[in-house]
Structure 1
Amino acid sequence: MRLALLITVTMVAFAANSLLNRAAVEAGLIDPLGYALIRVASGAAMLWLLLALRRTAMPRRIPWVGALSLATYMLGFSLAYLTLGAGLGALILFGVIQVTMFAVAAMRGAALGAQRLAGAAMAFAGLASLLWPGGGFSVDLTGAALMTAAGIGWAFYTLDGRGAANPLAATASNFLWCLPLMVLATLAALPSWPAPGGALLAVVGGAVTSGLGYALWYAVLPKIETTTAAVVQLSVPVIAVAAGALLLGEALTWKLVIAGAVVVGGIALAVTAPAAPAGRSRTRG
């Protein structure tokens, strides 16, 4: 029960990230790269402060996988939304995350099982119904490629977290080493100066929902299977849509309610699948 609560809190933090990003960037208070830079810097500062208060040392080794995958996610996600619609972008992002994490689990010898695959497919179908753009639309190939890179980056960032001995220290190290990469990318693009409101939203998104949220995610990951970690993340857009209706006054239609129920049902089907019998899998899925 405690683990389920921690997963729920983490997914809510991820959904809050989406809402904060929309509130800042879509309102024109800050450009996407500036938001990402402040987000990473604020996350690094918050996590460093927590380590200092706990008198915990930062890991000495450079977290190449964690830092590079986090930077890939942050940059790909930020730049993709310059040319890609929010719904289609989220669909590409979470679809790539699912495929990448399930593929890695299978390559590592995990027995995926029919029920787990069916649940994941059901949840993604519900998500597609929820996010698919209405009417005619065109896909910007550059934006789609950037969001694909972001999905792969986040998948490997998640996979890397399964081996974190100290989740808080590992997350702090990832943010700290990701920061120079974000600075270089942002300086190259010469972003505009943010409005105070945009900077404030980026700080909250970085220090709280990203820094603390990602540290909590790293604490949860060693306790669940790779495929479970992949599937539960499909709840994030559903939570974001529900929160948008409650907090931002956005329309909540029966289509959204039914699609959300399908996503939740698919997640429940996948995570309640029986574990693979001993001997059939070389590692946890």
Structure 2
Amino acid sequence: MNFQLIVGTFVAMLAFAGNSVLCRMALESGTIDPATFTSVRLISGAIILSILVLSISKLSENKAGDLKPFDSSNPRANFNTRLCHLCSLKQSSWLGGLALFAYAAGFSFSYISLSTGTGALILFATVQITMITIALFQGSRFSLAQWFGFAIALVGLVYLFLPGISAPPIFGALLMVLAGIAWGVYSIMGKKVLNPSQSTTENFIRASLITLLLSLFFINDMSISMDGLLLAVASGVITSGIGYAIWYAVLPYLKSATSASVQLTVPVIATLGGIVFLEEDISLRLFLASIAILGGVAMVILLSKKA
């Protein structure tokens, strides 16, 4: 793995964790309501992603020139032709936009009550468990060690939810679970597309249209300040739009097990961000649940025969 790839991967993980930190900062301080935060995040993300994709598409067109018929004697021209056709393929759907919206809305509303690290851990755990469960239903087979790891992760998640003083607020936790399921489904759908960056852009645009209905529904609860607006825009442009663009740029160069395992760092980075920027504490319950969930999922990923 070269230096640029390492840096790109690390920056992408920082961006993913940064979404949790920015959202929690905005909602914990009451500078913006969750519905408006969701709308601003998705709309600003759609704008920056559209600019990036259009720029790349324009660059590709300039290099490829006009589309030409297939020519077996000119492999390079054929590659350029296929590249331009690829950019014109439909890459998204309203179902994808709805899943993205459900993730973003559940994410925002859950952070009214959840701490940064707890929210990120629940989200990550639910996303991975959702994707693993879907893979099992689609015919994937686990070794005994993988089943053990999966069981440990589930036990860790259940332990996190058990009643007690340090248990997360149940409503916020359930909202984050729904967000994780939506993102897990969205990720599975994303595996079928040929151009993830274009697909994400189109789905952000669709989700932006859907989220306007959410803002209308909560219009009487609207509360927004310049600080809250800037945090939401930063989440949409930097940690969502640019973060996803960087991730999709490095993803083709990572092995499947590597790409999945590096995401184990996201809840850890988010927890550290909560400590630094929001002065949050780490409870013993969160610490033990993190070890169980992250360790269990790591076993499933790293022991995969497809790794």
TM over 0.5: yes
Deviation (angstroms), 1:214: 2.9
| Partner residue of 1:110 out of 121, 140, 157 | 140
Structural mapping, 1:90-101, within 5 Å: 90=120, 92-101=122-131
Contact 1:221 1:229 in 2 (8 A): no
Asked if residue 200 in structure 1 is aligned to residue 202 in structure 2, the reply is no
1:113-139 CA distances to partner (integer Å, 9 max, x unpaired)? 233343444456667778978527685
* Structure 1 residues 137-156: aligned runs within 5 Å: 140=170, 143=172, 145-156=174-185
Contact persistence 2:17–2:120 (CA under 8 A)? no
Moved more, 145-154 or 115-124: 115-124
Report the equivalent of 1:176.
205
The alpha-carbon deviation at position 13 of structure 1 amounts to 1.5
User: What's the CA shift for 1:70?
Assistant: 0.2
Deviation at 1:146, TM superposition (A): 3.4
2:98 is the counterpart of 1:68: yes
Offset of 1:41 from its aligned partner?
0.8
Question: In the alignment, what sits opposite 1:40?
Answer: 42
Shift of 1:8: 4.2
The counterpart of 1:15, out of the listed 14, 17, 29, is 17
Residue pairs, 1:47-66, within 5 angstroms? 47-56=49-58, 60=90, 62-66=92-96
Taking structure 1 as reference, are residues 124 and 214 closer, same or farther at Cα in structure 2, changes over 3 Å only?
Answer: farther
Query: Which whole-Å CA distance do the structure 2 matches of 1:138 and 1:259 have between them?
Result: 12
RMSD: 3.6
Greater displacement, 205-214 / 232-241: 232-241
1:87-127 deviation line (CA, Å, top 9, x unaligned): 66555534432332111101222123233343444456667
TM-score (norm 2): 0.72
- Report percent identity of matched pairs: 37
Larger Rg: 2
Change (3 A) 1:177 1:255: closer
1:165 corresponds in structure 2 to: 194
Match of 2:62 in 1: none
Distance in structure 1 (CA, Å) of the matches to 2:252 and 2:141: 18
Q: Structure 1's 118 and 239: CA in aligned 2 closer, same or farther, altered over 3 A?
A: farther
Report if the CA contact (8 A) 2:275-2:281 is conserved.
yes
Does the 8 Å CA contact 1:161/1:221 hold for their aligned counterparts?
no
What is the aligned partner in structure 2 of residue 279 from structure 1? none
Residue 168 of structure 1 deviates from its aligned partner by 1.7
> Could you tell me how far apart the structure 1 residues matched to 2:173 and 2:14 are?
25
Distance apart, 1:245 and its partner CA: 2.8
**What amino acid maps onto 1:149 in structure 2?**
L
Structure 2 gap segments, 5+ residues each: 59-86
Whether the 8 Å CA contact 2:46–2:205 is kept in 1: the answer is: yes
CA contact (8 A) 1:67 1:174 kept: yes
Greater Cα offset, 249-258 or 51-60: 249-258
Q: TM-score, normalised by structure 1?
A: 0.77
Aligned mates of 1:264, 1:158 — CA distance in 2: 19
1:74-93 mapped onto 2 (5 Å cutoff):
74-82=104-112, 84-86=113-115, 89-90=119-120, 92-93=122-123
Amino acid at match of 2:12: T
Residue 110 of structure 2 contacts residue 173 of structure 2 at CA under 8 Å; is this kept in 1?
A: yes
Q: 2:272 aligns with which of 237, 242, 245?
A: 242
In structure 2, do the counterparts of structure 1 residues 60 and 94 end up closer, same or farther at CA, with 3 Å as the change threshold?
closer
Contact kept in structure 2, 1:71 and 1:178, CA below 8 Å: yes
Question: Which of residues 169, 187, 209 in structure 1 aligns to 2:239?
Answer: 209
Report the 3-state secondary structure (helix = DSSP H, G, I; strand = E; otherwise coil) of the residue aligned with 1:48.
helix
